[in-house]
Chain A
Amino acid sequence: DAGITQSPRHKVTETGTPVTLRCHQTENHRYMYWYRQDPGHGLRLIHYSYGVKDTDKGEVSDGYSVSRSKTEDFLLTLESATSSQTSVYFCAISEQWSGSIQYFGAGTRLSVL
């Protein structure tokens, strides 16, 4: 998975609790992305980063925040998890902003009960 590590791989949490997912890359790629994958919706972009401390919103950013303090780490935080945030979360990286070629991590399966 192109030097991308997502942690944890699986998590079960309760509604209202904060959750942080981590994406770590060893490729030194500038651009990083967080997606969620749900049946019937494909992959949807949550947030992305175009450099250290530079982030922006994607299609489905409500209820999520991100931070990138180092090139290699991109964190996704659910401040107060809801059942609608039960999903599989993928981190991706790319070298160029052209965006076509993105390398994905193995995913984190999150269940919010």
Chain B
Amino acid sequence: GESVGLHLPTLSVQEGDNSIINCAYSNSASDYFIWYKQESGKGPQFIIDIRSNMDKRQGQRVTVLLNKTVKHLSLQIAATQPGDSAVYFCAENPGGTSYGKLTFGQGTILTVHP
């Protein structure tokens, strides 16, 4: 089946810097692309999603960019804080008969140093 993967398994940044987490996907028919955050010992938490007909969407301190030409998804976190330290997963909501069955990537560990 189709899969979602990540370029970088770990990312370390200084507090206050901007962070960029990348993700490559292979299913060009997916309808939505999503970012989740998972803190240690907790379940994943929805951050933001973007529909396939968009190339940018902004939330609070986060921006998701979608480049369908190269099948690339990124999550930008502005002014990264220690509380942003977590594992970040990209996921896709496939189209067709698999709609609603999310496929998750392996995750990127973000560490924010004070």
Contacts and interface: CB of A to CB of B under 8 A. Distances in A.
Contacts of A43: 44, 89, 91, 102, 104
A43 B34 CA distance: 13
**Is chain A's interface secondary structure helix, strand, loop, or mixed overall?**
loop
Contact of A42 (B34, B93, B106): B106
A84 interface: no
Interface in A55-101: 58-59, 90, 92, 97-101
Interface in B34-78: 34, 41-46, 49
Interface string A39-59: 011111100100000000011
A1 B42 contact: yes
Given A42-B89, A43-B89, A58-B101, A101 B106 contact: no
A91 to B, nearest CB: 8
Contacts of A42: 4, 89, 104-107
Nearest to B102: A99
Given A99-B93, A101-B46, A48 B101 contact: yes
B1 interface: yes
A41 B105 CA distance: 7
Contacts of B34: 100
Nearest to B51: A100
Interface string A20-34: 000000000001000
A70 to B, nearest CB: 21
A44 B104 contact: yes
Contact of A98 (B43, B45, B100): B100
Given A41-B106, A42-B89, A42-B106, A103 B101 contact: no
Contacts of B45: 104
Interface of B: 1, 4, 32, 34, 41-46, 49, 89, 91, 93, 99-107
Interface of A: 1, 4, 31, 40-45, 48, 58-59, 90, 92, 97-107
9 contacts: A4-B43, A44-B104, A45-B101, A97-B99, A99-B93, A99-B100, A100-B46, A104-B45, A106-B41
Pairs of residues from A and B, 6 with the lowest C-beta to C-beta distance, nearest first: A104-B43, A42-B104, A99-B100, A100-B49, A43-B104, A42-B106
